[in-house]
Chain A
Amino acid sequence: MMEKKAIVKSESGIHARPALAVVKEASKFKSEVLIVKGGNEYNAKSIVAIMCMAAVKNDEIIIKTNGDDEEAAAVAMVKLIEEGLE
């Protein structure tokens, strides 16, 4: 199990377009990928979950990964959320 903190940097938060990017990235990994926001866990491979998360700019989230490639997954997810979303 790996946990990494990330801060949502995109101006409009994680709306439809970035949500799709999050799901696509998380789905590349074999590990389970969860995002924790406000005490709730959201499956990063589910578009409905990420849209329901409705993260806004400056939200602090925790990426939780579990599996063989958990480290690569956690690093990639943090990088995407902090640098890769519009």
Chain B
Amino acid sequence: MFGLFKKKKEEKSVILKSPVVGRCFDIAEIPDEVFSSKMLGNGIGFESTEGVLYAPVDGEILQVFPTKHAVILKSKEGIEILLHIGIDTVNMKGEGFEAFVEKAQQVKAGDKLVAFNNDLIKAKAKSNLSVLVITDNEIIEAVEFNLGTVDKNNEPIIIKLKK
């Protein structure tokens, strides 16, 4: 060992911008235990006032579901994020959803991913409340949440990476 005092290595963080204009809330409030139980991973619930989903980070689109209600992306640091618009929205078979990105596309934080009809979702699906899940990853040390009313500039999630 080189001495008693270890130099503190710079802490690396991944900052997630808000995926919507609207509000972000505790994932435990999502009316679906697939998400609220955090079995898929930790994350946040969110609700859009304008019906647009934005990329929370710079990264690559891993998949856009054929029904366009879910997008999986991987940040440039390797964090895999699942974005799921509404609950039981898969049953809408894409009606009311428009995707602006596709698999393998590179995106920047703030890029438009999907546009969706909130009213249609409220009418036809279980809920328009949506989820952002950070799937479990061994490079993650801790996750911090800043919940509440948001616009595209807010940073609702800060992921601290292991040194």
Contact = CB atoms under 8 A, between A and B. Distances in A.
A54 B66 CA distance: 7
Interface in B131-152: 135
B90 A52 contact: no
Interface in A3-32: 12-13, 15-17, 20, 24
Which secondary structure characterizes the binding site on chain A? helix
A17 B82 CA distance: 13
A1 interface: no
Contact of B62 (A17, A24, A48, A56): A48
A52 B63 contact: yes
A70 B70 CA distance: 32
B40 A16 contact: yes
Interface of B: 32, 34-35, 39-41, 62-63, 65-67, 70, 72, 80, 82, 84, 90-91, 135
